[in-house]
Structure 1
């Protein structure tokens, strides 16, 4: 993304939103981002618990398609695992080792020295203040033939952004579309297997 590709997208009382003409990423202008303290306070209110069956069903949107691509002994990373890692436990029950990283709840920088067969980022990318850096970093951690599974609510041509509930969470600062994901896949020279 270069500055020349950025244009205003939408504005309300809470934030100014910009869009990249190359990849169609919509994002909140940096000056409207929450501080780390404000962001963590918001996450501390989340009620995602590992033993919550409804939450496990929700995460199955990523878990089931990823499982199809894993070989015995595969090692994974749950990036942005949150305060109650659940997806990692689902994989561990199937015999896979999963490392955790979350800048607030599992700050384990050593994960960035490892290579992984699969990496999950569920409901994470919409929170990234530096999406290009973070996603390139994650892609660089994948072993050849590895799986990077990203789950986020996508913006579509039909989305009425002014009333879209997903943008109302002040920690949501990046909004991806299928075109954004295809752009990333093209940059990395990989194929998209599924959308979730």
Structure 2
């Protein structure tokens, strides 16, 4: 199976479970063989097991990390979108407390009509679920106005341990795994400027003025 991000050749890598994993020679994305994807029903069922609660202080602190990364770039009057919010509109709540307007969208739990482009889009724990990875990144980026912001939170592949021992890869709904090399590839391919990266899980991009490029 070729890479779903750049169509490059993939080489098999040992994973933490029985699914088949490949690492792309071109963009370094690790991806799951499409034959091992969960069905939509099973995927939704798994999401339903998550114990996310708007009153949970731990959950609040976890999502506050991406708000903190984005905050220096926000300006009064901006309009945003939480893309793939899950069952709880926590990001929308956090931003409302700071005076920013944000709409929540999730294809399973909040399938509202999207009315972009937005000044900023936030995607927390979303991009690792992408299957048609290039198309799904392009769809998400096109919701951002040229010059606008895209904040992403996804755990990047650690350099100090083998992929087979990485707990993040054990989630059966996770199908695309990124490293810093993949992030650089994404930025170059989709006309994004990396404004901030902590090298671990938090990223803030700015969409360049102009059109999104195809990879």
Counterpart CA distance in 2 for 1:76 and 1:187 is 23
Counterpart CA distance in 2 for 1:191 and 1:33 is 32
Counterpart CA distance in 2 for 1:159 and 1:176 is 15
Residue 2 of structure 1 and its aligned partner are, at CA, apart by 5.2
Tell me the residue number matched to 2:213: none
Residue 48 of structure 1 and its aligned partner are, at CA, apart by 1.4
Counterpart CA distance in 2 for 1:2 and 1:190 is 16
After superposition, the C-alpha distances for 1:92-134 in whole angstroms (9 at most, x for unaligned) are: 12122212211110112x31x4111111110111111122111
Structure 1 residues 96 and 36: CA distance shift in structure 2, 3 A: same
1:60 paired residue among 48, 61, 64? 64
1:1-196 map, 5 Å: 1=5, 3-10=7-14, 14-108=18-112, 110-111=113-114, 113-195=115-197, 196=202
Normalization by structure 1: what TM-score?
A: 0.92
Counterpart CA distance in 2 for 1:96 and 1:2 is 35
Aligned length: 194
Q: Which structure's residues are more often helix, by fraction? A: 1
Counterpart CA distance in 2 for 1:163 and 1:19 is 15
- My pick for the range that moved more, 60-69 or 154-163, is 154-163
- My pick for the range that moved more, 80-89 or 95-104, is 95-104
Residue 34 of structure 1 and its aligned partner are, at CA, apart by 0.4
Normalization by structure 2: what TM-score?
A: 0.85
Counterpart CA distance in 1 for 2:51 and 2:21 is 28
Structure 1 residues 54 and 7: CA distance shift in structure 2, 3 A: same
Q: Post-superposition, which runs of at least 4 consecutive aligned residues in structure 1 deviate over 4 A?
A: 1-4
Counterpart CA distance in 2 for 1:173 and 1:166 is 10
Any stretches of 5+ residues in structure 2 without a counterpart? 203-215
**Do the aligned partners of 2:6 and 2:27 also contact (CA within 8 Å) in 1?**
no
Any stretches of 5+ residues in structure 1 without a counterpart? none
State the Cα RMSD in Å: 1.6
Local SS of the residue matching 1:77 = strand
Counterpart CA distance in 2 for 1:130 and 1:3 is 11
